[in-house]
């Protein structure tokens, strides 16, 4: 079942705001300022990515500073002595549970005791990193804060994720066929050139099987691959383990979803635009594109070619159903 993207009017009064506190713990060393990070694991979200030394939800009616002190003691075994508000990040995402987040970041510069990893089931490593040389995979919204602290001029309030737009790009037959035997049922050089022009300079999200059919990272684009295999890696690509993670990593602006069939089915309800190559042939296939509901989508452009058309659809303003506001499950190995 695909989930439609609700309108602001449909969401009014329905979207919970989840609050959390984050400890940005730093120390000064000869080589410069260092920040304490933990490597996430076993949490089911952003595992294998580095994150702030401690973080947790603001429970009940407690203050963010109380949550900060509690999480630092529970996760690291130290007591906060000096902490100042750093910034607040207000963010949302298209995938996962439809909710908003308010993240309160504190700069912790004084504590009693030695930070120790007390929850090894949730973190694989705890390490001091030079703030000037952060690891490649830092949870994106936390990287924004760390880089802002490093570079100076961090705003007291940051908004993230609200302008993300999904664009589904696919070539499909008259029977909605898109894949057979691990590849496409046709070879259309003009369509490949069209795909390149659409996605160049952008961010692409794809499943593991789509990556295998392409065989490499395409130049000039950021590639995000969704897979259930936590040991798998792909040269030149970012690897995540759910659609929610993929869209968090993809960041703001347009995000191109390029396959395969299950990811298309799970994202068509969240997309704002479809860029389809509609092919007259109807070949046998194993993988199919979801139906394009004419009550939800409006054709805004069609370029006729020999045997196929390039077609752009945009979502109708009323094309969303609030009754379908729920979780999108993980999308793995498509």
Q: Is residue 243 over pLDDT 60?
A: yes
- Look up the domain containing 281 and give its range: 165-324
- CATH number of the CATH domain containing 198: 3.40.430.10
| Residues 310 and 216 reside in one and the same domain | yes
The pLDDT of residue 286: 93
Q: Are 154 and 87 in contact (CB under 8 A)?
A: yes
CA separation for the pair 319, 197 (Å, rounded): 28
| Residues 145 and 231 reside in one and the same domain | no
17 vs 293 pLDDT, higher one: 293
The pLDDT of residue 1: 39
| Residues 136 and 28 reside in one and the same domain | yes
Write the pLDDT tens digit of every residue in 181-216.
888 999 999 999 999 999 999 999 999 999 999 999
Query: Cα 96 to chain center, whole Å?
Result: 10
Residue reference for tokens 């908004």:
159
Query: Cα 52 to chain center, whole Å?
Result: 18
Q: Which of 125, 160, 195 is the last residue of a domain?
A: 160
Write the pLDDT tens digit of every residue in 294-313.
999 999 999 999 999 999 99
Q: Are 23 and 52 in contact (CB under 8 A)?
A: yes
Single out the residue of 19, 104, 111, 114 nearest to residue 60, CA to CA: 19
């Amino acid at each position: 079942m695909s989930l439609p993207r609700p309108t602001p009017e449909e969401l009014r009064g329905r979207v919970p705001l989840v609050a959390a506190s984050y400890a940005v713990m730093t120390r000064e060393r000869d080589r410069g300022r260092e920040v304490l990070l933990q490597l996430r694991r076993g949490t089911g979200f952003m595992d294998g990515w580095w994150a702030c030394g401690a973080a947790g939800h603001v429970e009940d009616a407690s203050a963010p500073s109380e949550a900060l002190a509690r999480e630092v003691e529970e996760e690291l075994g130290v007591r906060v002595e000096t902490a100042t508000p750093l910034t607040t990040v207000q963010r949302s995402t298209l995938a996962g549970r439809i909710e908003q987040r308010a993240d309160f970041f504190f700069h912790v510069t004084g504590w009693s005791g030695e930070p120790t990893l007390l929850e090894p089931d949730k973190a694989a490593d705890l390490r001091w990193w030079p703030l000037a040389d952060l690891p490649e995979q830092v949870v994106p919204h936390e990287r924004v804060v760390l880089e802002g602290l490093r570079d100076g001029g961090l705003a007291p309030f940051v908004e993230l994720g609200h302008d993300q737009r999904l664009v589904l790009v696919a070539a499909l037959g008259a029977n909605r066929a898109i894949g057979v035997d691990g590849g496409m049922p046709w070879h259309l050089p003009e369509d490949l050139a069209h795909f390149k022009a659409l996605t160049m300079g952008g961010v692409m999200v794809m499943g593991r099987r789509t990556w295998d059919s392409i065989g490499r990272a395409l130049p000039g684009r950021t590639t995000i691959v969704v897979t259930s295999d936590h040991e798998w890696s792909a040269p030149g690509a970012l690897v995540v383990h759910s659609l929610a993670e993929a869209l968090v990593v993809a960041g703001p602006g347009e995000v191109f979803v390029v396959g395969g069939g299950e990811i298309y089915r799970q994202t068509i309800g969240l997309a704002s635009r479809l860029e389809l190559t509609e092919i007259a042939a109807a070949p046998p296939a194993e993988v199919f594109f979801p139906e394009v509901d004419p009550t939800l989508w409006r054709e805004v452009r069609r370029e006729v070619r020999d045997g196929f058309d390039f077609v752009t659809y945009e979502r109708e303003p009323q094309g969303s159903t609030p009754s379908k506001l729920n979780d999108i499950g993980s999308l793995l190995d498509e």
